[in-house]
Amino acid sequence: MVEDAEAGLGPLSGICAALESTDARWSVFFPVDLPLLPATLVAFLLNHARITGHAVTLSSVNGFAQSFPAVVDRAALPALRTALEAGRGGCFAAFQASCAALNQSMAILQVESLIQAGQVAHPGRLIPARWFLNVNQPRDLCRAETCFTGRIA
């Protein structure tokens, strides 16, 4: 586990701390409150980043880019650190800035297209929008369980 350099600065602080603590080129970041994300999506994003060399690789669902899961190249760290130090702690904007600093576009892959191509799948056959269901409260857990049982608790 890697501690944030400064507590209370949000996910971007954790991302910077993690990138600073590793020599690995690629790091995968995903929040613990998205338990329905299938491993196939994370694996595909990482493989895509390795093949294409994009500094940041994300997915989108229903036309909306998702900040997480994110595959981030360690080369993005200086621009991410600059955004954090400037008080711009939003991950998506920091990801964009890091790509611009590296003269790259951000890779955003459409989950629906990946499913149609047979590249990713959910073991519970959930629709992609459910993959990104935040589970932060007991009622959220009930909603997540409903995805599998079809019953409202």
pLDDT in tens, 19-58: 999 999 999 998 888 988 999 999 999 999 999 999 999 9
Tell me how crowded residue 13 is: count the other CB atoms within 10 A of its CB: 19
Average pLDDT over residues 92-102: 96
Domain ranges in the chain?
11-149
Residue 101 has pLDDT above 90, yes or no: yes
Residue 5 has pLDDT above 70, yes or no: no
Residue 152 has pLDDT above 50, yes or no: no
How far apart are alpha carbons 57 and 105 in whole angstroms?
A: 10
pLDDT for the residue numbered 82: 95
Q: Which of 91, 59, 54, 92 is CA-nearest to residue 73?
A: 54
How far apart are alpha carbons 25 and 75 in whole angstroms?
A: 8
Residue 148 has pLDDT above 70, yes or no: no
Question: 140 falls in which pLDDT band (50, 70, 90)?
Answer: low
pLDDT for the residue numbered 142: 73
Specify the DSSP class assigned to residue 124. T
Question: 151 falls in which pLDDT band (50, 70, 90)?
Answer: very low
Residue 90 has pLDDT above 80, yes or no: yes
Average pLDDT over residues 78-101: 93
Dihedral sign, CA of 8, 87, 16, 49? positive
Superfamily of domain 11-149, CATH level 4: Spore Coat Polysaccharide Biosynthesis Protein SpsA; Chain A (3.90.550.10)
Residue 11 has pLDDT above 50, yes or no: yes
Average pLDDT over residues 102-129: 94
Average pLDDT over residues 110-138: 91
How far apart are alpha carbons 76 and 55 in whole angstroms?
A: 6
Cβ-contact 15, 29 below 8 angstroms: yes
Half-sphere exposure of residue 6: CA atoms within 13 angstroms, side-chain side: 9
Which strands make up the sheet holding 107-110, listed edge to edge?
26-29, 64-73, 56-61, 107-110
In this structure, what is the dihedral angle of CA atoms 15, 18, 24, 27, given to the nearest 10 degrees? -40
